[in-house]
Every structure is written in C-alpha cells, then in structure tokens.
Structure 1
C-alpha cells in the first residue's frame, strides 16, 4: 500500500465534526440519502452507483458500484466543471468482487488517474478532460464554482454507461454568516450557523496577497469563527506590498475578534499559510491573547520583503513600532524563464548566513504561550519549509517550551496546500511559479493538514 493509500485509509475517521454535527448539517441541506440509479435489491437488479447526495468538501464519502456481475470489469468515471466551465475528469478501472460490488474505499483500481484503494481518489485525481494524460496545459488548475459544484459519477463498460449518480460537493455550509470587518481592518468575518459562542481564529494569507476566503468559510462550517485578514495589497490601511507589514496590525485583528459576541473565551488562534505562517509565529510571540498557532509551510526566520512583481524589497517583510525587524536577505538568483521555483532565493541565503545573522532573524517562538502546530512539505519548491520548521522545533526544544508543539512533514508534497479533496493535478505549478509535489502527495498532505488543524484548534481553544 502506498503512503497515500495509508493516509486515505486513515482519513475515513478524520475528526472534522461530530456525527451529530454532520447529521444536523446534512438534514439542513436535504439529507444524506443515496443518489443512485433506480433499481430493486434483487439479485437481478440493474447496476447502480451509490453515493451521498451531498457532503462538505472535507468529508471523505463512500462511493459504491453495486449489482454488477461477479468479477466483471467496470470503469468508474467522475466529472465536474470548474468555475471557468472547463470539464475535469477522473477514471478508475475495477474488477467487481464475488458479490458484484466495487467499494472504492476498499478496492484498488487496476488503472486510471490514481492507483490505490481510496474513497477520495475519484475526486482529487480529476484532470482536465482535454488532457487525460501527460503534462497539463499551462495554468490548468481546478477552481471550483462559488459555493458548491456537482460531481457526476458513471459506471461504464465498453463505452456503455451501466449506472450513474450525481453528488454535490459543498465548499461551505450555506448558513455560514459572512460580513466585512471594517474598523480599520481589511478582511472578512465568517461565523458558524446559530448563536452559540464558538472558538475563533485569524487566518493570514501568503505572498499572493489575497485572503483565503474559502478557508474561512470552511472553518466556520466546522464550528470555528474565522477572520480572514488581508495584511497587504490594495485596500487601505494595509501596505501595497509585502514590505514592513506592522505586526501590530495582526494584534488589532486579534482584539477585534475577541470583541465579537460569537467568540468564546479570552483567546483566539492564529492560522497562517507560507509568509502568513511566519507572521502568525511573530504575532504569537508577542501576544498573550493568542491561544493556538498553526503554520502551514511557514518559516521561523524573518526574510526580506517582496516589492512589485515579488521582487526583493531591500527591507524586512515585517515591522514593529515602525521599525523593520532584522531579516535575512534573499540570494541574488536568476531562476530562468517562468514557471520558476523560488528555492534559489532562499536555500543559498540560508546556507550562507552566519550564526549571528540567523539568530538576529529568528522569530522568538519560545516567547509565545500557546500550542504550536507546523506543517511542512519535503518537495516544497517555494522555500525549504521542512528545514524552516525543523529550526522552529529545535528552538522550542532548546527552550524547554512548556506548551504542546508538533511538526508534521509531508513527504513528496509541495508548497501549494489547499482544501481537502479538490483536484490536485495542476497545483504543482502554474504559468509563473513552481510549487512542487505530486498530485497524490499534495492530496494526502492537504487532507491530513486540514483534519489535524481543525482538531488542533478545537482542542486548544475549547473554553
């Protein structure tokens, strides 16, 4: 069994919500009933595809083809449309068991777009239908339609459709509250349905400069209020570029979040991606109001900021009290024509830095008073996130850090982690950037990181 198969098998029990929570939610959106081709249960029943009618995107779902002839060959095809209207498709070839059943979670395909027993394989392995094999077209990446998208599943043999079903993948609970932040902050606030006080986090985006709204909505769907904060970019009062961004700005966001009636307790979490992960560690090291910090592919070192076109800015990415925080300069590199990795800017600079420079640029994570959860990718082509996270853990070890801390390394995965079970072919690179990883490794890492992050925040921020 491959590493992804092992992770997929383990994910069947992923803790993204209690059973009662899931049942209540599914009742609200129309029930879990099986959408399948009509047919009786007698031995001569027509083949059918059984799948839940709807589920949140982070839920593994059972897909079962039934009432086939024992030992019959069948192809399961899944198709969906991206936001642009492009058709994406996965394919898996199976042989039915002695009962005429193919349970996708238990049976490995003989061929297709993925290669192991995995309930989620038909979803994450979808590729553009016009590029079923080989390299993907430049910039091909599945961006789901806003809110939800349908996945059509068909059992085929010899070009004939034996049975079909359609399910809806929900990006978030439609009853999630959403509103702009204001009060001198740029961002959006998402709260779970209902009126009960809930734990809350501030989410910090990466160097692309765009808040991760989908992450905020899905967190709220799982009972965690989220402020997706924009800390640089177009809207006032943030800096135009990733240059000397005030750490105090995040502290203001924490205070704003604690002032909401829906937020329980006196602490909130920080959840940062890439550069945002570094900002989360910085803010946590300065604030007692931070009760949990999560960094996906972060750095525990302060780096040079990025100006227009993500060019080196000549000053720190972050500031405190109006002064730039000591930083490591990016290496003078020429990675060639796009798409390009960013590693040539970071790895030589890390290797060539003196101990004094490394000490000056290191984030004092040991000054935080919060549990820490770090996620890295060993094939990260943007920066060496695994080495960065190892340095954070070494620093916490040396300080005998009293709170929980953990670093999960995801072998073979790249920088571009995303919400679970969205198609991952195409996230290894785009027209401009190389991110690294394989579709299977990126799918495994995204699913595991999300499940562990939700569980971590629930555990750490419980009242």
Structure 2
C-alpha cells in the first residue's frame, strides 16, 4: 500500500502522537477498510508503520500476512536534500504466523546487524555506494522540514507490500523569532500559550547555530535560543578566539525576559567547544538551572583562527582578558580527512599540574545539575578523558546537584539528531570524526533521549 499525496502531515503527526502505531491507511486519503467480515483467506501481505512522526521518535514497522518462514528483504529508501537516493536493506524470515515485527528481529544480513526498531532508518547508505567505504563527503542531509521514507517488503525481486512514513524534523506550529540587538541566532518556541522551560544552545567550532536542534527541542516543549557566538559580523568575533563569556550571560538574561519562559533559571546545552563554553558560563551564573555538554572539554583550550589555525590566545575571555588555557600542540596530521587528536593529546600529556589546574573549568562552582556525554572513538579531541576530568572535580567537591557522565563506546565526535542516516558522518572531505555507523546511531539516540529527560527534570524542579 502506498500513501497518496493528499494527506495532512500535521493531522497525521497528532494522530500518531496520541495513538502510537497505526496502519498507513489511517492517514491516507481513500484508504480501504476491509471491514470486520473480510475473509482471512483473501488477505494479502501488508506493511504497517505510522504515517508521520517527529524524527526523534522510534516507530514500529510490522509486516503481516507473509508466507510463514519465507525469506524476505525489508528495503527503506529516502532522498537527501540534494536529491540523492539513500537505501537500507535487511534480510529476515517471516515467523510461523507470517509476521515480521522489525523491532524484535535480528537481520540475517544487510546494512545493520542487531534487533533495532530504527535500523532501517539510520543504516541507509547512498544507493550508488551500497557496500564498502563511502565517497568523500557523502552524508545524508534531510530536506527542510520533513522527508519521506518508503519501506518495502520484497521477495525474489517482487514487492509484496509497501508503505511510506514521513519523518518530521520539527512540529510545524513552533514559532521562530529573531533575537534582540546585540545577539545573533534564532529563538524557537513551542506552540501554545503556556510557560515552558528554556535553554540556550551553543554550537561547536563549525561556527553556525544548530537550528535543527533548536527546532526539535521546541517541538518537545523546550523553548530554545540557538546562539551564534563567533563567525558573523559584530557584535561577535570573526573567529573562535577570546569569545566573551559575558555574551552568553547576556543571552541568558534575554531569555529570562521572554513571556513564555518559565524562570527563574534556564538551561545551557553545548556541543563540543560550545559544551566547554556552557560549563564555563554555568560556573559563573546563578541563572543556570541545568547544563548539558555533548563531547565537551572541561579544560579551556587555545582558540582557532581563520582556517582553524591556532589562534595564539584563549578561546574565551572574561572582563576583556583571555581565560587561562592550554596551547595546542604543533602537529602535521597528514592529508585530509584528518583527525584533530594530534593537536590535543600531546598537549594534554605534556602539561604540568599547574597548567592543568589553571586551564580547568571550575564546574564545581556551578549551581545546577550537570550532564556530560562523551564518545570513546572521538577523533576531534579526547572527549571521554575531558569529561572524566570534569566529573572528578565534581566528585572531589562533593557536588550538591545531580551530575552524570555517559560515555558511548565506539562512537565518534559527530553526534546528531536521532535516527538520521549515520553512514558518512565518521568523516567528511576534510575532517575525521570517528565512530562506526551503528555506534554513532546508538550514541545519538541515547544522548538525545537522556538530554530531553534531564532538561525537563532539572528545569521543572
């Protein structure tokens, strides 16, 4: 069964949210109703999947009325923003009742290798590179707003059943606002009029706000200011060098003045270098009620200039003065795609205790719960070692709030929104990030789920 073009994605999303798993025909125009008196002997293979769901929502894919014990292949297909086709495949055998419930079944072969409800989604690869290493720069970038995934059950080259589900990147009714004078970024607000928790999200060394993250957080009930802190015209620096921590504090104050924001505190959520900035700002502000760092460092490092060359000064400043920092090591990482570990690991190993103490972020001076996420195969910097240092400081201080460090084995630096295809994010044309597609998919899904729960819990207290 194929979904026709005439259906209301927003209505489907609301239906999925309230009812859970639904047959695709429930949201499709003109879907047939077999009725209670239909003859089971006349049944044909059918594929059931929600018509629409937010991208962070796992879905249940079930095929029925198959020949018991028959070998079948589940194929998933989507198109990225550039129009390229991405495909996953997984081989199964129908059970004795002729049913294939994807979440409970381990594939016999294919693009993923363990029971996983969302394996068909995150394991998609470019259709023109079904096996082996991907072409440099191959990465699934979803179209704006939503993308369709078509699932098909096949046997011997014949399609037995087919269905399409829409993966929404955000709730269409969220609001988007520009910021006040002196701040760069966007402000995303959940639908409705109720007061809601709020966070400032801080991007990494890429220098661009993570708008998709802000939109999805707002879709999940958390107002989000996606703040750009370097890489644009005044009032922010051109490069990641001596970025004023006071700029984040100004963003916190702006956020607390919004009518929809349920004060008296807001959260800080940072990725990579932005995670370090979140920890640093939280150590200085009583207005922070939760702090999240994805692959951050608990140490202050030298900033980056144009072309990501060492800046010769700290990444951050306070009161116009550079925050004490560790210098990056001199390194020649070789031809791209290159890791950045050679700039950090030797510098960390060669630093004296006094240098480490001076560059350490005083996370224990924050007055908020802390949640840290690291990846053990991080090729940009050793995020697991960095997070452990921060955790040890909290241990030593007998920290009064909840704190936690989740380390994700085999995952790399590039954590992203859940269930988007992960083949290709271990590296791009220029940078190595690390991790395998499966480990990166598991880390992204877990980190996102735990972050949502942590922010809701911490900011509602």
Alignment partner, residue 35 of structure 1 = 24
SS of equivalent to 1:94 = strand
Alignment partner, residue 320 of structure 1 = 318
1:448 aligns with 2:437: no
Alignment partner, residue 154 of structure 2 = 156
Q: How far did 1:384 drift?
A: 0.2
Alignment partner, residue 389 of structure 1 = 387
**How many angstroms apart in 2 are the aligned matches of 1:230 and 1:250?**
10
1:225 aligns with 2:214: no
Alignment partner, residue 106 of structure 2 = 108
Q: How far did 1:180 drift?
A: 1.2
SS of equivalent to 2:456 = helix
**How many angstroms apart in 2 are the aligned matches of 1:118 and 1:208?**
31
**How many angstroms apart in 2 are the aligned matches of 1:166 and 1:238?**
44
1:288 aligns with 2:249: no
Q: How far did 1:60 drift?
A: 0.6
Indicate if the aligned counterparts of 1:88 and 1:127 stay in contact, CA closer than 8 A.
yes
1:263-342 → structure 2 map (5 Å cutoff): 263-342=261-340
SS of equivalent to 1:292 = strand
Q: Given the two structures, how large is their TM-score scaled by the length of structure 1?
A: 0.93
Q: Deviations over 1:46-82 (max 9, x none)?
A: 1011000000000110001110010011101000000
SS of equivalent to 1:185 = coil
**How many angstroms apart in 2 are the aligned matches of 1:28 and 1:98?**
29
Alignment partner, residue 428 of structure 2 = 430
**How many angstroms apart in 2 are the aligned matches of 1:344 and 1:44?**
65
**How many angstroms apart in 2 are the aligned matches of 1:34 and 1:424?**
27
Alignment partner, residue 78 of structure 1 = 76
**How many angstroms apart in 2 are the aligned matches of 1:106 and 1:28?**
21
**How many angstroms apart in 2 are the aligned matches of 1:312 and 1:411?**
29
Q: How far did 1:31 drift?
A: 7.6
SS of equivalent to 2:277 = helix
**How many angstroms apart in 1 are the aligned matches of 2:319 and 2:273?**
20
**How many angstroms apart in 2 are the aligned matches of 1:99 and 1:162?**
16
Q: How far did 1:210 drift?
A: 0.6
SS of equivalent to 2:104 = coil
Pick from 137, 145, 149 the counterpart of residue 147 of structure 1: 145
Indicate if the aligned counterparts of 2:300 and 2:361 stay in contact, CA closer than 8 A.
yes
**How many angstroms apart in 2 are the aligned matches of 1:23 and 1:394?**
48
Alignment partner, residue 194 of structure 2 = 196
Number of equivalent positions:
442
Q: How far did 1:428 drift?
A: 0.2
Tell me, which stretches of 5 or more residues in structure 1 are unaligned?
1-21
Alignment partner, residue 170 of structure 2 = 172
SS of equivalent to 2:150 = strand
SS of equivalent to 2:261 = coil
Q: How far did 1:44 drift?
A: 3.6
Alignment partner, residue 251 of structure 2 = 253
**How many angstroms apart in 2 are the aligned matches of 1:388 and 1:142?**
29
Q: Deviations over 1:399-454 (max 9, x none)?
A: 11111100000000000000000000000000000000000000000000000000
1:363-442 → structure 2 map (5 Å cutoff): 363-442=361-440
Q: How far did 1:26 drift?
A: 1.6
**How many angstroms apart in 1 are the aligned matches of 2:12 and 2:264?**
28
**How many angstroms apart in 2 are the aligned matches of 1:342 and 1:295?**
19
**How many angstroms apart in 1 are the aligned matches of 2:17 and 2:369?**
35
Moved more, 230-239 or 285-294: 230-239
**How many angstroms apart in 2 are the aligned matches of 1:145 and 1:283?**
34
Q: Given the two structures, how large is their TM-score scaled by the length of structure 2?
A: 0.94
1:106-145 → structure 2 map (5 Å cutoff): 106-145=104-143
SS of equivalent to 1:375 = strand
The structure 1 segments of at least 4 consecutive aligned residues displaced by more than 3 Å after TM superposition are: 22-25, 27-33, 36-41
**How many angstroms apart in 1 are the aligned matches of 2:139 and 2:372?**
26
Alignment partner, residue 14 of structure 2 = 26
